[in-house]
Every structure is written in structure tokens, then in C-alpha cells.
């Protein structure tokens, strides 16, 4: 205590006089509330992600079932196409509609070389693909048109 002024020594340096300190309980409560908010946000995020995961799993199952149905339909259509393309079916339709079609004469068949992925000029042919010759001379050599 100062003898002349009868005042006590000021509190710690840097602390303003006349201002009260925040009690330690308030600081603890603020920290606890913040931690609870973080925990609640993490919980809500986890619930949301679980919900989204289950929703996507249901959608995945639905799409897989659609894929299975489409594959079955494709297999059915391929089998039906092969049945319709069969020579027995074609002959039956020729007889049913009484079409004037006949087999190709061997002199009408030419062999051509097959080039995968590119178009070849006619001078490059000379290989192994069967192609019917539709020129007028080939029709005349086969005995005429019926």
C-alpha cells in the first residue's frame, strides 16, 4: 500500500481496471457447447451418408434387374433372328409366297479379298470372300432369267 495515496497496487500489468474477468465456468460452457455442436454435425452427416448409401444400393439393384431383363430380351431376339435367317425358313417363305427365286449359279460367284476396317479399291481384290456377280453377262451364262 502506498503511504501517500492509501491506494493498493494495481492488478497485473495489461489488465484494465474496472473490467471484470470472465468466469472460468462460462469459458468451459462455451467449449462444451462447441464440442456438442461438432459431435451433432458429425452424427447428422453420418446418418445422411448412410441414407444416401442405402438409396444408391436400392437403385443399383433396380438397374441390375433391368440389365438382366434386357440381356434376356436380347438373347430371345438373337435366337428369333437366327431362326428367321435359317435356310429352312427362307425356303418355306419362298414356297409360301410362290417366289421365282433360285440358287446362285457357280459361275456367278467371284472371290474377293476382305480388308478389315478399310475400304479397298477394286484392283486390290483377289482373295477369299464369296460375292455374287450381278453383271448382265453372268445372268445370261446361267441360262437366262426365269
DSSP-based three-state secondary structure for 110:
strand
For residues 79-87, average pLDDT: 94
Tallying the residues shown for the chain, one arrives at 146
Three-state secondary structure readout of 121-141: CHHHCCCCEEEECCCHHHHHH
Domain annotation covers residue 18: no
| Beta bridge mates, 132 | 109
For the chain, what is the mean pLDDT?
78
Asked if the structure places residue 31 within a domain, the reply is: yes
Residue 54 covered by a domain: yes
137 falls within a domain: no
- Residue-level pLDDT at 52: 97
Strand residue runs (E) in 66-143: 109-112, 129-132
pLDDT confidence of 144, banded at 50, 70, 90? Answer: very low
* 3-29 per-position pLDDT tens digit: 666 666 555 555 555 555 667 888 899
Domains: count for the chain: 1
Helix (H, G, I), strand (E, B) or coil at 46: helix
70 within some domain: yes
Flag whether pLDDT at 40 surpasses 90.
yes
Let me know if residue 124 belongs to a domain: no
pTM: 0.44
Residue 105: the pLDDT is 86
Spatial distance between the Cα atoms of 146 and 141, rounded to a whole number of angstroms: 13
User: Residue written as cell 471484470?
Assistant: 20
Domain interval for residue 63: 24-85
Q: Is residue 98 part of a domain?
A: no
Residue 29 falls inside a structural domain: yes
**Banded model confidence at residue 33, pLDDT cuts 50, 70, 90:** very high
- Percent pLDDT > 90 in the chain is 45
Count CB-CB contacts under 10 A for residue 94. 13
Amino acid at each position: 500500500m502506498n503511504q501517500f495515496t492509501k491506494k493498493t497496487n494495481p492488478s497485473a500489468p495489461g489488465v484494465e481496471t474496472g473490467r471484470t474477468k470472465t468466469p472460468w465456468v462460462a469459458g468451459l460452457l462455451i467449449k462444451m457447447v462447441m464440442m456438442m455442436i461438432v459431435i451433432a454435425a458429425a452424427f447428422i452427416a453420418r446418418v445422411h451418408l448412410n441414407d444416401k448409401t442405402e438409396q444408391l444400393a436400392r437403385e443399383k439393384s433396380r438397374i441390375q434387374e433391368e440389365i438382366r431383363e434386357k440381356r434376356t430380351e436380347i438373347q430371345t431376339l438373337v435366337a428369333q433372328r437366327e431362326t428367321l435367317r435359317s435356310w429352312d425358313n427362307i425356303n418355306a417363305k419362298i414356297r409360301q409366297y410362290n417366289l421365282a427365286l433360285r440358287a446362285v449359279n457357280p459361275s456367278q460367284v467371284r472371290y474377293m479379298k476382305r480388308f478389315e476396317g478399310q475400304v479397298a479399291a477394286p484392283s486390290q481384290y483377289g482373295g477369299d470372300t464369296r460375292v455374287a456377280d450381278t453383271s448382265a453377262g453372268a445372268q445370261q451364262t446361267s441360262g437366262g432369267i426365269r
